[in-house]
Chains A and B, each alone.
Chain A
Amino acid sequence: MKPAAFEYLAPRSVEEAVALLAERGEDAKVIAGGQSLVPMMAFRLATPAALVDLNGVSELDHARVDRDTLVLGATARHRSVQELAGLRERCAMVAEAVGLIGHPPIRNRGTAGGSIAHADPAAEWPALLLALDGEVDAMGPGGRRTIAAADLFRTYFTTALAPDEILTEVRLPLPAGAVGSAFVEVAQRHGDFAVAGAGALMIVADDGSVADARLVLIGVRDTAVRSVAAETILRGASPTDPVLDDATNAIRSEIDPVSDVHGSSAYRRRVAIAVARRAVTLARDRAHAAVA
């Protein structure tokens, strides 16, 4: 399980990285944390002719909360996000999701940008980006562009990023007000990719009704997915248990889990509904606590 040979390129700037990537063409790959790419290379499922390593590009190494936005450079580690002061209070969903990514050595090395660009349907960052209506910046030979979360994820491991583009920054707007949120996963073992997972966020208005609700699911179809059906039921409603039941049952039409060695489609459906219910319940209870 040794990787095939490749040319190693260590640019010092985004500009240089983009140029190197364009020069080497489609056989080149960008590496940030490498926690998904390197195992694939070890199995020789990925055999890039060149690796453009972003780790030496210092302008990409930042993680901060700018007023109401979580801003992450492409090489910000999961761990750096965990270390942002007050993030859990500000948006529990993000803190909980990041805590569910693998194990400490994976979080020390892996990056949010890499996870989003890799677009594993069971990964947490794409779900967070979708749930928070975030956006990413991408830099290519034609310049910089911004891609909204809703336009980014196409299907399994496929995004709207062009092969010659580099994801440079991730921005996640953090809602203010009486917000409650949570991220819940079920995996057979701690730290494994989830059988199914759900992130929920709820803002409660003064009258107790739901001012805003987000529900995102992972591991249930070809990309992470926002449940429009559930959110529609929740918005404007009083978030009672029966309403939460209705909302989470509504995800059925939006998910299409595959059967694999860890469980059948039917099993994943059941788990998806269970985690959705748990996440939404936690989000509601936390939103209520925030009001009080």
Chain B
Amino acid sequence: MTTRLFGERVARSEDRRLLTGRGRYTGDFEPAAAHAAFVRSDFAHARITGIDVAAAQAVPGVLDVFTYADLADGFADRLPLLVPSDKLIAPRTQHALAKDEACYAGEVLAMVVARDRYVAEDALERIVVEYEPLPAAVDLDRAAGPNAPLAHLDMTDNLAGLVTEETGDVDAAFAAAPHVYDWTLRMERSASMPIETRGVVARYDEREDRLLVHDATQAPTGVRFGLAMLFGMDPDRVHVVAPDVGGGFGVKVIQFYPEEVLVPWAARRLGVPVKWIEDRREHFLGSNHERGQIHHVHVGAADDGRILALEDRFLHDTGAYCSYGLILPIITAAQLPGPYDLENYRYELRSIFTNTVPTSPFRGAGRPHAAYVMERVIERVSKELNLDSLDVRRRNFVKEFPHHVGVTFQDGGPTVYDSGDYPKGLATLLEQLDLERTRTEIATARAEGRTVGLGFGAYVEGTGIGPYEGASVSINPDGTVSVATAHGSQGQAHETVFAQVVADELQVPFERVHVTTGDTRRLGFGVGTFASRTAVVAGNAVLLATTEVKRQAAAVAARILEVAPEDVVFADGAIHVAGAPDRSIPLGRLAMASNPTRYAFGADAEEGAKLSQLAYEGGDRPLPEGSHPGLAATEYYSPTSGVFGFGFHAALVEIDLETGHVDILRYVVHHDSGRIINPMVVEGQIHGGVAQGIGGALYERIAYGEEGQMLNATFMDFLMVTAAEMPRIEEVHTETPSPNNPLGIKGVGEAGTIPVSATIANAISDALNTPVDHMPVTPEEVLTLAGKIESP
């Protein structure tokens, strides 16, 4: 009997350990290790003229205290540039410990290793840093302007990188456009803020010359190869494990944060396991942020609302350093057109250094800004021309696929949409919303004096980029199947969805498929869990590896069963001859048979071992050329290009004009990420994405004072939404398969977040009948927009 789990709501195999307190997070390893803590710069920008660690060294329980002067060789160099680009004018990354200049409040200056974290923090208080404070570039507009304070002493301005691109003939299109507008849109800084902070635990075994690092990272393979290089160690002697990771959302994939280098370095130098579990204050001050951008858009529109020309000149706040190169603003620029066919589009992005925490992708990664800008443009054009914005959207939709956007994608190739059906997606959303009834309800509410508004947002999300991911699959003698992928899950259920793919292909029970992720001891090559890519890239690698194992199993079984490989059938954890189910071999026994050796325990294995003579019978040697022992394969999948999910959101909001509170009465999501492996998991990803989007639209922002001090580095002041603020999300799906990969899937991890700021802004704008051009919208800003209080 053939069963199929692909597309089913399979409950997760990860859950049991996580629900019973037996999860294995980074902080759970090495309970007896020494603990590290870091002195971080008090100033946003300062020369470091001296660090006195003597008093800290004397604290009982302190093992050692390190500053830049203690680092040598590669450890004294600047940390690597993760994503180089020839458009990067000033590639600046930080030192593991600041050398002589601190460029943001929170930059690490010194490291303490002590018996425990309590003692380590005692020692921090006794370290005296001599600062010579310098002017700080903080405000993005000001930092980009003339005579700005300089973020780096050795630069003459704050420009990190500049990219311009154009498709079509923008100037000619503007010249011919009957309506031309100029608008400015802003989005403030925010952060991923997983509930588990970062953490690194390192143990160096001198006798074995082995380094084992547990790292709450989204990309252990890169950390492993990087550490091997830094230490001059054979990569086989360095292993990095990302165990259960308590949320990532982008912030845990940097390669390298200073602590990822320093903790293993200290463990080796001191000869003891060293553990660093970031605390929340450190996370605010020392883990990357995102989102700060300012867009100046120039729009040319036809009478019917078609966008004839669009120019976007925008600033991106890269923070103090740019280890992620220009990837964020490039994503913004490439994804700005969204589902719309912009024949004439030009952008100029300027990435600007400020003396603030560096930025790197946070769920959505440049796309929430893109959707916000584009959807505000659509709404404002519609408003100016007195048109229904849904009609304007439909008129501008991309209708044919593949669609060439005409600008460069984040992977360096052209931006090409593989598939989609935008009119159908929008129609599906509107059906769930019941547009006519909703409009009637709004009219009624307004007649009662209530302030309500309806907003829409649309997005396209490029997912599943290369270069590659791998998977290894092997059938074990007990009939279980071991699967390994290089990169871990931070909650995305990889153990479950990959097992679904394998169980389907081999027709083994789901429970017999055991997936390990994020352990370089199991699979050394890989790229990372980010950019909504793992299900697509690693998922297809799992399929390829399983297909290869299946081929091997069929070949061995065919010889034993004395039929052609085409004539065997996989069913119920066994292989049988087509049409003769009684002539069968369990997969476990087959695995045993395929490995000509002797280690059989138990009758089934003994039986299998006997069969191994048959398995390779007729060859010139025990293991014939071209075959290998066991049923195992490692395969890699490299996509030709990204695959583009899309969707539409709608929000119905009510505003309290006395307090500025925005109540989301309804939130409706349409989403299309191609074929769905597990709808339950996809819905969960959307829910979480929308929650972060609502946070970004109404609550969350990282606030800096003029001197570059963070003003809200606590959970009391950085406001993440709770269950009480979240509306119930109504979710509908369409499935437009991707033609670009064997599974037909697209990524979904970031989708939920992308259009939320756009949607909420449009809803508030509709309610107040005024443009909303700055996100997030705090209650105070709502009242300011409504003319109820003076702008502060």
Contact = CB atoms under 8 A, between A and B. Distances in A.
Direct contact of A and B (CB under 8 A): yes
Interface string A185-200: 0101111110100000
B449 to A, nearest CB: 16
Nearest to A188: B719
Interface in B250-288: 279-281
Interface in B278-309: 279-281
Interface stretch (A26-34, A125-133, A264-272): A264-272
Nearest to B657: A274
Interface in B106-161: 117-118, 121-122, 125
Contact of A271 (B281, B659, B717): B659
Contact of B789 (A2, A191, A270): A270
B699 A43 contact: no
A43 B285 CA distance: 14
Contact of A274 (B125, B279, B658, B724): B658
B780 interface: yes
Interface in B712-758: 712, 714, 716-717, 719, 721-722, 724-725
A12 interface: no
B281 A1 contact: yes
Contacts of B703: 261
A13 B711 CA distance: 42
A108 interface: no
Nearest to B779: A188
A261 B717 contact: yes
A189 B281 contact: no
B582 interface: no
Q: B281, B659, B778 — which one has the most chain A CB atoms within 10 A of its CB? A: B659
Contact of A267 (B280, B699, B714, B779): B779
A44 B281 contact: no
A189 B121 contact: no
A44 B121 contact: yes
Contacts of B716: 192-193
Contacts of B779: 188, 195, 263, 267, 271
Interface in B771-792: 778-780, 783, 788-790, 792
A190 B659 contact: no
A270 B719 contact: no
B783 A267 contact: yes
Given A261-B711, A274-B658, A189 B721 contact: yes
B568 to A, nearest CB: 59
A85 interface: no
A267 B660 contact: yes
Q: B281, B660, B711, B780 — which one has the most chain A CB atoms within 10 A of its CB? A: B780
Contacts of A2: 117-118, 121
Interface in A239-262: 259, 261-262
A158 B121 CA distance: 29
Contacts of A162: none
B55 to A, nearest CB: 15
B724 A189 contact: yes
> Dominant SS at the A interface?
loop
A4 interface: yes
A191 B722 contact: yes
Interface residues of A, number: 26
A186 B661 contact: yes
Contacts of A191: 722, 724
B696 to A, nearest CB: 14
Nearest to B116: A2
A259 B790 CA distance: 14
Contacts of B722: 189-191
Contacts of A3: 118
B711 A274 contact: no
Contact of B122 (A4, A271, A274): A4
Interface in A3-51: 3-5, 43-44
B659 A274 contact: yes
Contacts of B281: 1, 43
Contacts, number: 72
Interface string A154-190: 0000000000000000000000000000000010111
Q: A5, A193, A261 — which one has the most chain B CB atoms within 10 A of its CB? A: A261
A270 B783 contact: yes
A264 B788 CA distance: 13
B780 A267 contact: yes
A264 B780 contact: yes
A261 B725 CA distance: 20
Nearest to A274: B658
Nearest to B37: A2
B699 A189 contact: yes
Contacts of A259: 792
A274 B660 CA distance: 11
Contacts of B790: 266
Contacts of B788: 270
B196 to A, nearest CB: 15
A3 B280 CA distance: 14
Nearest to A193: B716
Contacts of A186: 659, 661
A96 B724 CA distance: 17
A190 B719 CA distance: 11
Contacts of B725: 189-190
Contacts of B792: 259, 264, 266-267
Contacts of B658: 270-271, 274
Given A188-B779, A261-B703, A1 B118 contact: no
A195 B790 CA distance: 18
A1 B279 contact: yes
Contacts of A267: 660, 779-780, 783, 789, 792
Contacts of A195: 659, 779
Nearest to B658: A274
Nearest to A4: B122
A266 B121 contact: no
A250 to B, nearest CB: 17
A263 B661 contact: no
A72 B117 CA distance: 38
Contacts of B117: 2
A192 B719 CA distance: 9
Interface string B628-663: 000000000000000000000000000000111100
A278 to B, nearest CB: 8
Contacts of A4: 121-122, 125
B646 to A, nearest CB: 32
A201 B630 CA distance: 80
B789 A190 contact: no
Nearest to A275: B659
Contacts of B699: 188-189
Contacts of B778: 188, 263
Q: A44, A188, A275 — which one has the most chain B CB atoms within 10 A of its CB? A: A188
Contacts of B661: 186
Contacts of A261: 703, 711-712, 717
Nearest to B718: A261
A44 B117 CA distance: 14
A192 B661 CA distance: 14
A264 B790 CA distance: 10
Interface of B: 117-118, 121-122, 125, 279-281, 658-661, 699, 703, 711-712, 714, 716-717, 719, 721-722, 724-725, 778-780, 783, 788-790, 792
List the 7 closest pairs (A to B, CB-CB), nearest first.
Answer: A190-B724, A274-B658, A264-B792, A267-B780, A1-B279, A2-B118, A261-B711
Interface of A: 1-5, 43-44, 186, 188-193, 195, 259, 261-264, 266-267, 270-271, 274-275
15 contacts: A2-B121, A4-B121, A4-B122, A4-B125, A188-B779, A192-B716, A195-B659, A261-B711, A263-B778, A263-B779, A263-B780, A266-B789, A267-B779, A270-B658, A270-B783
Given A189-B722, A271-B658, 19 more contacts: A4-B121, A4-B122, A4-B125, A186-B661, A189-B699, A190-B722, A190-B725, A191-B724, A261-B711, A263-B778, A263-B779, A263-B780, A264-B792, A266-B792, A267-B779, A270-B783, A270-B789, A271-B660, A275-B659
